[in-house]
Structure 1
């Protein structure tokens, strides 16, 4: 933790070296071990250069060199065997504020860029940089590093870890990356880690089951969310025959399992919304009343203006655009949402559908201007064209 920046640089060096070497030569039999060895050797070299054989290097050089030759597979009792998942728990130390835990884990472990984190947490990039720096400084001061976690440590840190997994999947499902609208690799990694979690005693609970259900249900529609050119498709444009029935069955299984006990979480409500979409035979036959009920429960379990925005969308589908506008006009959005493209996009859509074209055009310009990627920008343009009634 004290040398996290140097570790990140060493990992980046190993990856760029692999790109160069593996194009010209054969890929090694064990790519992970190769990357680990190159990164570790690079780190040892940097430590030797930086510290001039000081006490830290003398204490740790032998251990680092040994690990470079063979990555450790040692696990203590009660620990999670997956290294990535264990590191997520280690990063979520209670000495670090929750938001800073998320930022550090998303940046250092999940590979998110600063801009992607800022979009997901509805914050500015400057604020993300500050929180990341504070998290790094705090983790550096923790001595010795708490790599051996007790069962109570796992339980205390579980909410932070599930939120990280949720954000990882969310970014994959609709990416803010300028090159990729959908990042299935992130979604699959989030599901892999969550499956490991629910099969461990610490994660075998209704909340984690509901999170896994949400992931599977949303993953089921992923192959139908892009056309042949890679452009994003609206929900009503998707070919439902392309939806993965196996994923839907997995999602419904975990949703039923999440109903055990009295605990209700935001993941239950969001999985309920996803289930209604997956069970509807067509867009027109979607049970929007049930979806509105799910969003009401979501607002109660995890109050947020974003959930209210989603409820307004569902009400507009159920009762018409004016009813959706009434929900939004009844409350003033917080600044973090009012400045986000989602707020402008929904207002543009509802005003255009309500034939309030002047306001609709104003908000459509705002939404398109602030969209985080070209793919989302194109999707918004097509959505607004439908809202105006063009091409119908």
Structure 2
């Protein structure tokens, strides 16, 4: 036994791993039992490890406790006969009694769960919420923010997904090519959101969660290696993940605070990851298929290949955002588009572009809309309007780290525009 406990991020990873493996064994109908068992194992670890030390193999320990809890509950319920008839208990006991599923098996289970969660029987709006909660370990609040809705709607979506899957059995047979391709867009979307949460998290304790970025990349690479998974859109998704991950080391200061793009030390950007990202971007260009991920990878590439902030090819970035708008109507992209226009054509043009857009209600009062509006109004010399938006941005920031980043942006813009009087508290 050792004295070092698992971090919260490690617990999240273990949660996804255990849910995937045990559900692969038992089937989706027993998902609630699996989740209860995994939760019990996690709680047991939180209670015991600080007192007795962390086991030499934490993953195996968690698996054994979850398995024993699961089998104990199943044997007590009315489903005992069904469980024994299908020999599930024997399967669990014989396959992984030591919890030592290898990496390939774990990845296989995770991918199978991803595609199961994106089954056509699940309402489309419920697939993402259900997968992010069940398999990725996101909280309801995190999902609500990422999907631009409220907690109540997320609870409803997850419930609908569970109801839809209640009669589905997860079997060992591989998905048909048709099923695989039908579910692929939803799977890519889940991986994209997993990466997004890692790149700029709304978690109160950690503004960057690199383990989520790494997991999204790993699963995307496995997806691309599947017999039906080699697709330009998947390659573009991998490219944008790698290119953005390459910049992570430069996005925080020594104290862990977020830095503005113009403040970042580009020598800290990972050149090897940039090279890998460019390889996948080139790979994504085969054929005539073009997607939103191609646009976003192109934007990330423009930043990575620029020697400095002032030498950034903002014209290329503006073009990519214009094309992106034709693929998907994501209001947040409008904000980034406006900022790119401001850098390329001047803040007045960027502000005019933003003012022509009628934001949805959830965005109009958000920190994102307010922060960008404050920045552009300041740069256009309209200080009073800017201060009002700035105060809203600070008040609605979901975490302290994001609030501090908004403050940095305000201070930086004040310096550029020679505004020396800060807004009142």
With the shorter chain as reference, the TM-score category is over 0.9
Report the Cα distance in structure 2 between the residues aligned to 1:379 and 1:224, rounded to whole angstroms: 14
In the alignment, what sits opposite 1:192?
218
Is it true that 1:160 corresponds to 2:197 in the alignment?
Answer: no
Indicate which of 71, 75, 80 corresponds to 2:96.
71
Maintained 8 Å contact 2:83/2:89: no
- Structure 1 range deviating more: 245-254 or 79-88: 79-88
In the alignment, what sits opposite 2:11?
none
SS of equivalent residue, structure 2 residue 228: helix
In the alignment, what sits opposite 1:361?
387
In the alignment, what sits opposite 2:5?
none
Q: Equivalences for 1:93-242 in 2 at 5 Å?
A: 93-142=119-168, 144-145=169-170, 148=173, 149-242=175-268
Q: How far did 1:283 drift? A: 0.5
Is it true that 1:300 corresponds to 2:326 in the alignment?
Answer: yes
Maintained 8 Å contact 1:92/1:160: yes
In the alignment, what sits opposite 2:31?
4
Q: Equivalences for 1:7-18 in 2 at 5 Å?
A: 7-18=34-45
In the alignment, what sits opposite 1:55?
81
In the alignment, what sits opposite 2:64?
37
Maintained 8 Å contact 2:213/2:245: yes
Residues 40-65 of structure 1 show CA distances to partners (whole Å, capped at 9, x for unaligned) of: 2111222334x2575335435x4225
**Residue 13 and residue 305 in structure 1: after superposition, are their counterparts in 2 closer, same or farther (change >3 A)?**
same
Q: How far did 1:341 drift? A: 1.8
Consecutive unaligned residues of structure 2, counting only runs of 5 or more, are 1-27, 421-425
Residues 215-246 of structure 1 show CA distances to partners (whole Å, capped at 9, x for unaligned) of: 11000010111111111111111100100000
Q: How far did 1:80 drift? A: 10
Q: How far did 1:131 drift? A: 0.6
Maintained 8 Å contact 1:344/1:364: yes
In the alignment, what sits opposite 2:346?
320
Q: How far did 1:119 drift? A: 0.7
Consecutive unaligned residues of structure 1, counting only runs of 5 or more, are none
Report the Cα distance in structure 2 between the residues aligned to 1:360 and 1:81, rounded to whole angstroms: 48
Report the Cα distance in structure 1 between the residues aligned to 2:356 and 2:348, rounded to whole angstroms: 12
In the alignment, what sits opposite 2:307?
281
Report the Cα distance in structure 1 between the residues aligned to 2:149 and 2:63, rounded to whole angstroms: 34
Maintained 8 Å contact 2:365/2:392: no
- Structure 1 range deviating more: 329-338 or 167-176: 329-338
Maintained 8 Å contact 2:243/2:274: yes
Which TM-score applies when normalising by structure 2? 0.85
Residues 302-354 of structure 1 show CA distances to partners (whole Å, capped at 9, x for unaligned) of: 23332222211100111221111111111211223223321111111111111
Report the Cα distance in structure 1 between the residues aligned to 2:399 and 2:56, rounded to whole angstroms: 37
The number of residue pairs the alignment matches comes to: 386
SS of equivalent residue, structure 2 residue 256: coil
Report the Cα distance in structure 2 between the residues aligned to 1:69 and 1:147, rounded to whole angstroms: 17
Maintained 8 Å contact 2:119/2:183: yes
Q: How far did 1:146 drift? A: 5.7
Report the Cα distance in structure 2 between the residues aligned to 1:190 and 1:53, rounded to whole angstroms: 36
Which TM-score applies when normalising by structure 1? 0.92
Q: Structure 1 segments of 4 or more deviating over 6 A?
A: none
Report the Cα distance in structure 2 between the residues aligned to 1:183 and 1:68, rounded to whole angstroms: 34
Q: How far did 1:147 drift? A: 5.6
**Residue 21 and residue 111 in structure 1: after superposition, are their counterparts in 2 closer, same or farther (change >3 A)?**
same
Residues 188-214 of structure 1 show CA distances to partners (whole Å, capped at 9, x for unaligned) of: 011111111111122211100000000
Report the Cα distance in structure 2 between the residues aligned to 1:271 and 1:249, rounded to whole angstroms: 13
Maintained 8 Å contact 1:80/1:200: no
Maintained 8 Å contact 2:260/2:409: yes
Indicate which of 360, 365, 390 corresponds to 1:339.
365
State the Cα RMSD in Å. 2.3
Maintained 8 Å contact 2:107/2:219: no
